[in-house]
Amino acid sequence: MKDYTGEERRWNVNSAEVALDDGVRSWSHAELREEVGLLSAALRARGSRVLATLMNNSPAWVVADLAAAQCGVVHVPLPVFFTPQQIGHALASAGVDTVLTTPEVAARWANAPKQPIQVAGATLIWLKLPATPVAMPAETAKITYTSGTTGSPKGVCLSALAMRRVAASLGRAMEPLQVRRHLCALPFAVLLENIAGLMAPLASGATCIVLPLEQIGLLGSSSFDAQRFQTAVDRHRPESVILLPQMLRGWVDHLTRSGQRAPDSLKLVAVGGAAVGERLLRAARDLGIPAYEGYGLSEGSSVQTLNLPGADRIGSAGRALPHARLRIAADGEIEVAGSLFAGYLGDTASAPEWWPSGDLGHVDADGYLHIQGRKKHVLITSFGRNVSAEWVEVALHDQAAIAQAVVFGDGQPELSAVLWPVRADTSDAQLQSGVDAANATLPDYARIGHWVRAREAFSAESGLATVNGRPRRGAVLEMHASALLATDTTPSH
């Protein structure tokens, strides 16, 4: 029987080492293998072809993911915070015939045939759905969506081989760290945690600490309680964790205000999903958080580059991991190869050898990748100056008062921004001071001349961000258009 990655390591039936720990009980690698075998047999017996999971982080989720991989069922992980419209779109577009979820969530499907099943100590419900087969590449093993928004996000089809390669590559790159305990802090439906936070640690024989997301402070997709997170890391003392930039920012702010430090058990805090910023990374390290920035995209099966202890350049996204190849096109666009996705849902065509990322950047003489923003987000001011929106946003994010920022100004004489503060009691004066400090680091053509306070946080729930926390610029602009069009340069609300 193959192990979690299908590479060199094999599951040991007699292994008593802990694979999963949910804070109440633990599962050894042998016990996990047994659970996976039982659920895999049940999937075969039901004749499932496409399985959707809709549940919180839990050992049961891990078992479902591994069982689907073992028996060749396509897995469609869905975040629990998706709206009914988002869930409906995903189920229909992927041709899902089976849903595995909790009894509470299953009640939404009043007329669907239901059957209870025990998985890793949890009572779950099978839902049988009518489904029409959907075109997808033949090697599809998992489908992840490029955003957590309403509408019609693209389904990215991933092959088992590509995911195994990324997990094995991460294992080789991190081997010197000897990480034995990883705290899963992102939803498993997020590809980054699924591969880097589950597949890679399990394949290396490490323990994955699998807690309900509310226990580690993540409420919904992006409401983050840093104090609750600090309590979890103090209690469970992980050696590694993966965070989104806004989570790291909230943790740094909490530690700074409370006079605490991160636990000394931590060896690596990988940060990805969006640009981090040099000031935030340095502030984190000053508080004992070993934060290192990485880069990846769903079409590359998650992670392509990562800074690591001993191979680190702050301000970069790190060097290419063993599985990844990078090149820069003539127009500055980053192209990636090695473990690409299989193709898009609804299309049987395979991905090309090299994939255009849509990001602009360069690789320095030592092999470190530097991201300069999205190709489609380059703004051209009315004075003809090209400005990367992300470049200015990183400068804004580096300010203590500013949690989130989206910059506009295409065709305008000056740039404008929509800002969301770190705390609700942050004053306009504090935000203005942050803008002034950011402007001081930028050339005159890239400075913010006008800003408005956001009406809501940029999150999947508000419709203003994707699952990974990337802002939906069109939605942000639509919500704040009238304020941004104001001709004065004083802050608006």
Per-residue pLDDT of the chain (493 residues; tens, 9 = 90+): 344 444 434 444 447 799 999 999 999 999 999 999 999 999 999 999 999 999 999 999 999 999 999 999 999 999 887 778 888 989 999 999 999 999 999 999 999 999 999 999 999 999 999 988 999 999 999 999 865 433 456 899 999 999 999 999 999 999 999 999 999 999 999 999 999 999 999 999 999 999 999 999 987 655 789 999 999 999 999 999 999 888 898 899 999 999 999 999 999 999 988 778 888 899 999 999 999 999 999 999 999 999 999 999 999 999 999 999 999 999 999 999 999 999 999 988 888 999 999 899 999 999 999 998 888 888 888 777 888 898 899 899 889 899 899 999 988 889 999 999 988 899 999 999 999 999 998 888 889 999 999 999 988 778 888 766 778 898 999 999 988 886 444 444 4
Structural domain includes residue 79: yes
Domain end among 354, 373, 392: 373
CA distance 153 to 434: 34
Task: Say yes or no: 299 and 237 in one domain.
Answer: yes
Structural domain range at position 75: 27-134
Q: What is the pLDDT of residue 400?
A: 87
Q: Identify the burial level of 260 via C-beta atoms within 10 angstroms of its C-beta, where 0-12 means exposed, 13-18 middle and 19 or more buried.
A: middle
By CB atoms closer than 10 A (0-12, 13-18, 19+), residue 39 is buried
Asked if residue 127 lies in contact with residue 112, where contact means CB atoms within 8 angstroms, the answer is yes
Domain boundary residue among 83, 112, 134? 134
Report CA-CA distances (Å) from 400 to 250, 251, 392, 422, 423. 10, 12, 15, 7, 10
The residue among 26, 3, 7 whose CA lies nearest residue 202 is 3
Asked if 201 and 329 sit in the same domain, the reply is yes
Distance in Å from the first CA to the final CA of the chain: 60
* pLDDT (0 to 100) of residue 9: 44
Confidence (pLDDT) at 243 = 94
Residue 368: inside a domain, yes or no? yes
- Helices (H) and strands (E) in the chain — how many of each? 13, 28
- Does 351 map to a domain? no
Cα(115)–Cα(101) distance, integer angstroms: 11
- Residues 6 or more apart in contact with residue 354 via CB below 8 angstroms: 327, 335, 336, 337
Residues β-bridged to residue 78: 54
On whether both 87 and 208 belong to a single domain, the answer is: no
357 is a domain residue: no
Q: Nearest to residue 423, comparing CAs of 250, 271, 267?
A: 250
Task: Kindly state whether residues 68 and 39 are assigned to the same domain.
Answer: yes
Residue 156 belongs to some domain of the structure:
no
> Is residue 145 in a domain?
no
Establish if 17 belongs to a structural domain.
Answer: no
Q: How many CB atoms lie within 10 A of CB 60?
A: 25
Side-chain-side CA neighbours of 323 within 13 Å: the count stands at: 23
**Whether residue 432 sits in one domain with residue 314:** no
CA nearest neighbour of 189 among 233, 228, 142, 149:
142
Structure tokens, 56: 């919180």
Out of 330, 347, 373, a domain closes at 373
Work out how many domains the chain is built from and give that number: 3
Position 491 in a domain: no
